[in-house]
Amino acid sequence: MQFDFTGKAVITTGAARGIGRTMVKTFHDAGAMVLAADRDAEGLAETCEPFEERVASIVADISNPEGAKSIVDKCVEAFGRLDVCVNNAAVAPHASLLEERVEVWDTVYAVNCRGTFLMTQAAGRAMIEGGTENGRIVNFSSGVSKRGSAGAAAYASSRAAVESFTRVAAIELAPYDILVNTVSPGLIDTQPKPLPPRMEEGLGKRIPTLPLARAGEPEEVAWVTMFLASEYSSYVCGAVWEVDGAAGIGTRAGHKIIDDDPRYDWVTGKES
Ligand SMILES: NC(=O)c1ccc[n+]([C@@H]2O[C@H](COP(=O)([O-])OP(=O)(O)OC[C@H]3O[C@@H](n4cnc5c(N)ncnc54)[C@H](O)[C@@H]3O)[C@@H](O)[C@H]2O)c1
């Protein structure tokens, strides 16, 4: 499968680092015109620096209506159209529930939920107004939305809200030929190195238990996002696409399974 986004305009939020930065490159390399958006001006400049053409940028905050609208307006102004909006920007501060500050909770929801809503609304309006055919909106969630993970009360629940929101958006925008889906990454290697000590220790224990015994690469998330942004996903709508190497469904298989339960000797053949 070869992605060709020639002539298409793509917004990527959260483009100053991590998965967003990688997506700017992969969409650009597949021929797209890319608007890279983030509130971190320095990181954004670093992301865009290698590209001589077809990449524009805007420093904006997705959590307020003016910021979200300015991103969409800039894309239309720079490229004359909007075909794909990837709502990747998020914040993920962790804190114990009993200590969590209400300001942190509100910020997580303002960026992860309100920001996704505002971007989806602004992008949907622009696509309809501009007569976009085969519009695509890809929202972001996380594997943690489906499990109880200590310290993730605000983040995990905000990501679950995005999955629910996406289902509603998918239904409401389908009549306009705009497909809305969610990408739900598992553990992806996006952290600048060296890792903070507690994170390094935690990951050192966790990674060997993952089914593939490794973290995912940002490119592996970008490829699925590109599929959902492409014409190949024409019958995928309102779905949650997990990019987690099976981390959400189990832990690494450690050893050969030998059933030594004598009740099943008649099944396993040990009896004979
Ligand atoms: N990295 C992982 O392991 C992982 C796992 C599960 C889900 N995800 C999801 O993937 C996406 C990207 O993750 P990442 O690790 O690359 O994130 P990251 O923290 O490395 O980068 C997020 C970017 O979003 C930007 N941002 C934050 N708030 C913003 C706002 N209000 N307006 C504009 N920009 C803002 C930040 O400045 C930053 O550049 C997120 O939606 C995250 O929830 C990541």
The neighbouring-strand residues paired with 12 are 36, 86
* 159 neighbors 112 (Cβ within 8 angstroms): yes
Catalytic residue at 235?
A: no
- pLDDT-derived band at 254, boundaries 50, 70, 90: confident
Neighbours of 114 (CB within 10 A): 18
> DSSP 3-state assignment of 210?
coil
DSSP output for 52-98: SSSEEEEE--TTSHHHHHHHHHHHHHHHS---EEEE---------TT
- Report which protein residue has its CA nearest ligand 1's atom 28: 90
The neighbouring-strand residues paired with 84 are 10, 136
Q: Is 216 near ligand 1, meaning CB less than 6 Å away?
A: no
- pLDDT-derived band at 218, boundaries 50, 70, 90: very high
Cα of 92 vs centre of ligand 1, distance in Å, is 8
Cα of 8 vs centre of ligand 1, distance in Å, is 24
Question: Would you put residue 54 in left (φ > 0), alpha (ψ -120 to 50) or beta?
Answer: left
Q: What angle do CA 141, 203, 247 make, to 5 degrees?
A: 45
Choice from 39, 59, 113 to test ligand 1 binding pocket (greatest atom count within 8 A of CB): 39
Cα of 221 vs centre of ligand 1, distance in Å, is 12
Burial class (CB in 10 A: 0-12, 13-18, 19+), 136: buried
Q: What percent of the chain has pLDDT above 90?
A: 96
Q: Which atom of ligand 1 is nearest to the CA of 143?
A: 6
pLDDT tens-digit profile of 64-114? 999 999 999 999 999 999 999 999 999 999 999 999 999 999 999 999 999
The DSSP code for 257 is -
What's residue 255's pLDDT?
84
Which phi and psi angles does 71 have, rounded to 5°?
A: -65, -50
- Report which protein residue has its CA nearest ligand 1's atom 34: 38
Q: Which atom of ligand 1 is nearest to the CA of 110?
A: 31
**This prediction's pTM:** 0.97
Residues 181, 112: Cα–Cα separation, whole Å = 15
Cα of 14 vs centre of ligand 1, distance in Å, is 6
pLDDT tens-digit profile of 5-29? 999 999 999 999 999 999 999 999 9
Mean pLDDT of the chain, nearest integer? 97
Q: Is 158 near ligand 1, meaning CB less than 6 Å away?
A: no
**Considering 155, 232, 235, 264, which one is annotated as catalytic?**
155
What's residue 272's pLDDT?
57
